[in-house]
Structure 1
Amino acid sequence: MSKDAEATRRLLVQAARRRFAFDGYRATTVRDIAADAGVNVALINRYFVSKEGLFRECLDRVARDLSAEERPVPDLERSLAGMIEHAVRSPTDDDSLQLMLLLRSSGDDGADAIRRETLRRYAERLAGAVRDEVTDDLLLRAEIALAVVLGMTMLRTSTKVEPLASADHQAVSDALTGVLRQLLAGPR
């Protein structure tokens, strides 16, 4: 793929993330996305096949950005550090938009299925970072941990609930690490 094609794909994904996050999947049109990116609408079909394909690409990026590389040996502390680093120390507008994509109801069955699949894959990777054998109990605890991180991030960045929004990164990180460690490590 040429550099121009890669740049165009990036522009389309950025424009789509913003539209999907603020307007929702159903209200967003491919024409809106193309106009925001400053490209011909036909390029969406060329690069992503459809609006749903572009939405999937946006959520696939979320999963890649939120998850650490899969590790051959479970390492809870390393996984926690990576997740918390992303959620607490480096939230940006793009990060907030990506999280909104995961949380916002679309009213479209296909888009909601993609969203659930993305969240499930991330929870499975998180559970796998705790132990080799992923049980239903561990997967449930990983999904709860993910909900805690997503909720904390939304309160901190999108809704700006105080004192959380302006709290020191280290204070938030320390509290979150303790909660997530206990949640994911489970009963001993």
Structure 2
Amino acid sequence: MRKRDREATRARLLEAARLRFARDGYDATSVRDIAGDSDVDATLIFRYFGSKKRLFEEATAADLAPDLLDGPNEELVARMVRTVVDQDWTEYGGEHPLVALLRSSAHEDTRRHLREEVCHTYVNALRDLAEGDDAELRAELLSAWLVGIGILRSVVATPALARARTADLAPHVAAVATGLLGRPMSGAVDRPEA
């Protein structure tokens, strides 16, 4: 019973931390805030995680692109857009986990983690699809556009992007991705019929 309580408390702390860090960023989030949200004493954070920094690392160590590389290559960009637009990120306050990292990017460790996530998850996959000499540059340009879509949707909340669904974006995604990658890309993800 004691082990289960420990695991449940740890899970509650991680859940509260994800929401706080996503909404407020690292600097604006205190250990007391997270403990209060979890209805526990702040000392438990240090007992379970050792430090606020370690809690942040665990709380933001999500799989940013579930099943991203599964499926046809020509649908990769559409799958990326779908993770930003249609993926349920409730545990991060409804925003993509990259937003939490961006809100905390004043710290070198976070910038390094963000760079690794974006480069290894997005840029490398797009670079491998790009045709031509400057594939890396075009992959980074497309990645910047995709990250910008996420920021305008959730942080800035521009009206058209905030209410747009993947299907609304599909023709534009296809046009931009095809132009930048130099090969036909789809803006929509075909779903197998049931």
Aligned to 1:15: 16
Matched, 1:163 2:160: yes
Paired residues for 1:53-68 under 5 Å:
53-61=54-62, 64-68=63-67
**Cα–Cα, structure 1 residues 50 and 179, in superposed 2: closer, same or farther, change >3 Å?**
same
Q: Distance in 2 between matches of 1:3 and 1:69?
A: 33
1:143 is paired with a residue whose SS is: helix
Q: Distance in 2 between matches of 1:38 and 1:171?
A: 42
- Asked whether the equivalents of residues 34 and 41 of structure 1 are also in contact (C-alpha less than 8 Å), the reply is yes
Determine which of 73, 86, 91 is the counterpart of 1:89. Answer: 86
Aligned to 1:30: 31
What is the alpha-carbon root mean square deviation over aligned residues?
Answer: 3.3
Q: Distance in 2 between matches of 1:145 and 1:4?
A: 45
- TM-score w.r.t. structure 1 length? 0.72
More helix by share: 1
**Cα–Cα, structure 1 residues 185 and 10, in superposed 2: closer, same or farther, change >3 Å?**
farther
**Cα–Cα, structure 1 residues 70 and 86, in superposed 2: closer, same or farther, change >3 Å?**
closer
- Asked whether the equivalents of residues 142 and 177 of structure 2 are also in contact (C-alpha less than 8 Å), the reply is yes
Q: Give the counterpart letter for 1:103 in structure 2.
A: L
Aligned to 1:130: 129
- Asked whether the equivalents of residues 89 and 169 of structure 1 are also in contact (C-alpha less than 8 Å), the reply is yes
> What displacement does 1:81 show?
3.3
**Cα–Cα, structure 1 residues 84 and 107, in superposed 2: closer, same or farther, change >3 Å?**
closer
Q: Give the counterpart letter for 2:61 in structure 1.
A: D
Percent identity, aligned pairs only, is 35
**Cα–Cα, structure 1 residues 69 and 153, in superposed 2: closer, same or farther, change >3 Å?**
closer
1:28 is paired with a residue whose SS is: coil
Aligned to 1:76: 73
Matched, 1:149 2:146: yes
Bigger-Rg structure (1/2) = 2
- Asked whether the equivalents of residues 22 and 100 of structure 2 are also in contact (C-alpha less than 8 Å), the reply is yes
Q: Which runs of 5+ in 1 are unaligned?
A: none
Q: Distance in 2 between matches of 1:8 and 1:182?
A: 49
- Asked whether the equivalents of residues 30 and 41 of structure 1 are also in contact (C-alpha less than 8 Å), the reply is yes
Aligned to 1:108: 107
Q: Give the counterpart letter for 1:13 in structure 2.
A: L
- Asked whether the equivalents of residues 64 and 97 of structure 2 are also in contact (C-alpha less than 8 Å), the reply is no
Q: Distance in 2 between matches of 1:20 and 1:156?
A: 18
- TM-score w.r.t. structure 2 length? 0.70
Aligned to 2:186: none
> What displacement does 1:56 show?
1.9
- Asked whether the equivalents of residues 13 and 45 of structure 2 are also in contact (C-alpha less than 8 Å), the reply is yes
Q: Distance in 1 between matches of 2:10 and 2:142?
A: 32
Aligned to 1:177: 174
Q: Give the counterpart letter for 1:36 in structure 2.
A: D
